[in-house]
Amino acid sequence: MLNASYVGRSLPTTEPVVVTAESVTRFAEAVGLPDTGAVPPTYLISLTLPAADRLIDDPDFGLDWGRVLHREQRFAYHRDLKAGDAVTCTVTVESIKTVAGNDLLSLRTAVDDAQGLAAEVWTTLFVAGDPQ
């Protein structure tokens, strides 16, 4: 079971990461999109998922990555990102709901650039409970 006291807690903001043309190309190729040079809509998952690694590494939180299934992903862009932009990510634990002994973990990640909030990414994970 996940530690519900983490709800509302934000992880420390990541160090700035520069969106590179090379990383955009690699991501586009990996998901089967043509390389147009534009940042694909789902590109931010390559930055926001690693930003949540601290939760995996925190034994007090209780997240066993081996019990996780990805359930849902949503993106809201406030402006387009492009190669050369430096961004930071701040992950917040929005909710933990227990259903039939399993947890649904909802995270919101704010993606900021030099102008402020550029995008928001919501991730919902299904975390299987301990087998009886």
Question: Three-class SS of residue 61?
Answer: coil
Instruction: Please write the tens of the pLDDT for every residue from 65-118.
Output: 899 999 999 999 999 999 999 999 999 999 999 999 999 999 999 999 999 999
Q: Residue 52's closest CA among 116, 128, 125, 102?
A: 125
Q: Which CATH number fits domain 4-127: 3.10.129.10, 3.40.50.10190, 3.40.50.300, 3.40.309.10?
A: 3.10.129.10
What residues contact residue 24 under an 8 Å CB cut-off, 6+ apart? Answer: 35, 37, 38, 39, 40, 43, 83
Whole-prediction pTM value? 0.92
Distance CA 40, CA 85 (A): 14
- C-beta separation of 99 from 87 below 8 A: no
- Which residues, listed in sequence order, are joined to residue 69 by a DSSP beta bridge? 126
